[in-house]
Amino acid sequence: MQIKKQMTIKEVLDQCPEAAEVLFEAGIHCVGCHLAAQETLEQGLKAHGLDDKKVQEIVEKINEKVK
């Protein structure tokens, strides 16, 4: 399984609960937000002001947790 930025935040957390730790470390606390079921990981991260490079870094960190 691989986490992709096009997945909703809920999908990411359902498949990899450890992703919450990575998001918290990045200052993203939307894990319980009602938008998590609708917003993609990329949309959520960009809504918090992160650029494409940082989004990719976070996706890679989450995928390391999946391994």
Instruction: Give the pLDDT confidence of 14-58 residue by residue, as tens digits.
Output: 999 999 999 999 988 877 778 788 999 999 999 999 999 999 999
Question: Which H or E run includes 52?
Answer: helix 52-66
Give pLDDT, residue 23.
Answer: 94
Domains of the chain: 9-66 (1.10.3910)
The predicted pLDDT at position 19 comes to 94
pLDDT (0 to 100) of residue 37: 83
> Buried b vs exposed e over 15-35: b needs ≥16 C-beta within 10 Å?
ebeebbebbeebebeebeeee
Please, what's the largest Cα pairwise distance for the chain? 28
Q: Which residue in the block uniquely carries the two structure tokens 């809920």?
A: 10
